[in-house]
Amino acid sequence: MKYLSSFWVLLIAFQLNAQEIKVNSGKYSDYYHIQYELTSGNYSVNSEYGFNKGGQFEVFVPKEHFPISAPSCNKNIIIRMPYSNYEKRKRALYNELLLLKTITVTLELNPYVKVLNKNPLQVELEYCNVFFRHRAGDYFDQL
C-alpha cells in the first residue's frame, strides 16, 4: 500500500508539472515557461546583489517550494532577471518583490531544463537557475 500511495503522489506531481508548463517553439529549440506564485515568506530578494545595471537582480526560492524538481540543487532555486537596456518594468517588479508580498511571475526554465518525457511532459532542472521571462529585451509577464 505504501508503494501504491507513493506511485500516485508521483503521478499526480508529474501531471501537475506538465499542466503548469507552457512550451513555446523557438527558432532553435523549444522554450519552457511557467507562471509561478512567489508566496510571501517563501522567497527572498538577494539584497547583496541588489538591482544592477541592465535591470539585473536575483530572487532565492527554497527548492522545496519550487514546482520543478532540481536534484542537483542543495538549497535554493535562483531566479535571475537577465540584462537588457530596458529597466523600467524590471525596477517596478524589483520594488514590488522587496515588499515580500505574494506575487505571480512568469519564468523561463531554459537553458537549464532537462526534458525527461515529452508525453506526458516531465522536466527537471539540471542546475539551480531559472530566469524571469524575457521577450523583445524586456520582462514579459505572460506565457
pLDDT by 10-residue block (mean), the chain, 143 residues:
45 47 93 96 97 97 96 97 95 97 96 94 96 94 92
DSSP character at residue 74: S
- pLDDT in the model for residue 131: 98
- pLDDT in the model for residue 1: 54
- pLDDT in the model for residue 19: 45
CA 143 to chain CA mean position, Å:
12
Q: CA–CA separation, 7 vs 5, rounded Å?
A: 5
The pTM of the full predicted model, rounded to 2 decimals, is: 0.85
- pLDDT in the model for residue 2: 52
- pLDDT in the model for residue 98: 97
